[in-house]
Amino acid sequence: MPAEQTMTLEIFRYHPETDSEPRFQAYEVPYDEDWVVLDAINWIKDHVDGTLTHRWSCRMGVCGSCGMMVNGDPKLTCAAFLKDYYPRPVKVEPLVNFPVERDLVVSLDGFMEKLEAVKPYIIRDDVNDTSGGEYLQSPAELARYKQYSMCINCMLCYAACPVAGHEDEFLGPAALALGHRYNRDSRDRGRAERLDVMLAGEAIWGCTFVGECTAVCPKHVDPAGAIQQAKAVAAQEYFRRFAMPRGAKDAGA
């Protein structure tokens, strides 16, 4: 019987109760070409080391929970196959540009605050008034924002963005792409409210169009493109407010 093939996972470990510094721990895992990195981490958790902490849920690229750095690249570990790395070791770390809670789990607090700030939902005064029936939308109107609505909040784009790593005021790729998504929605009337947030400080202007957010996005949302388009809208609004300081704010969509 042939010996079982194995490969090595070097996993970032940090337990705040006991560790003052992080460390890497190597684990030998069975190699199966159908396995993804998440399968290997789950195998370690189930069979070798129950103290290993990681976040996951759907295993099919929908929930956005299992984002980690795999050999330095932000990846959904449910979509990163071991066969693409075998036989070399795989180094797994928590997403960079986020504080680490424990092992491979990062804190979501900062991201959630930024996401909330752009009001990623339809805003309109008559939202409870259904007397006029549905808010109709043509396929062309849907096409204006559909791509940007595919975000699963996996935060890989924040890990790929060098600006997100050092500029706290920057709202970041996913939040800005989602803000842009609602600004382009024909049913929405909240553009002025979102622009108030986007125009502040480095909220949107921090983006230097590195473009790696788009490169790593597993859902092809293209946050970099969304941000550049949002910048154009924000710039128009900035000059409008400058020219007419007492005038009406952007009226909406």
State which of residues 39, 185, 222, 250 lies at the interface with other proteins (CB under 8 A).
222
State which of residues 2, 139, 245, 247 lies at the interface with other proteins (CB under 8 A).
139
Site for other proteins in 142-161 (CB under 8 A): 142-144, 160
At residue 12, the 3 state secondary structure works out as strand
State which of residues 6, 22, 57, 88 lies at the interface with other proteins (CB under 8 A).
22
For position 215 contacting other proteins by CB under 8 A, the verdict is yes
Site for other proteins in 94-113 (CB under 8 A): 96-97, 99-101, 107
Among candidate residues 124, 97, 50, 93, the one with its CA nearest the CA of residue 213: 97
State which of residues 57, 58, 162, 235 lies at the interface with other proteins (CB under 8 A).
162
Q: How many residues bind other proteins (CB under 8 A)?
A: 36
Which of left, alpha, beta for 172 (phi over 0: left; psi -120 to 50: alpha)? left
Do 144 and 184 contact (CB within 8 A), yes or no?
yes
Indicate the length of the chain as a whole number: 253
Strands (E), the chain: 6-13, 23-30, 67-70, 73-76, 90-93, 100-102, 105-106
For position 214 contacting other proteins by CB under 8 A, the verdict is yes
Least spacing, CB of residue 159 vs other proteins, in Å: 11
Q: How many helices (H) and strands (E) does the chain have?
A: 8, 7
For position 136 contacting other proteins by CB under 8 A, the verdict is no
For position 224 contacting other proteins by CB under 8 A, the verdict is yes
Which of left, alpha, beta for 211 (phi over 0: left; psi -120 to 50: alpha)? left
Q: Is the dihedral of CA 10, 60, 68, 75 positive or negative?
A: positive
For position 239 contacting other proteins by CB under 8 A, the verdict is no
Binding site residues, other proteins, CB under 8 A = 14, 16-17, 19-20, 22, 72-73, 96-97, 99-101, 107, 139-140, 142-144, 160, 162, 165-166, 208-212, 214-215, 222, 224-225, 228-229, 232
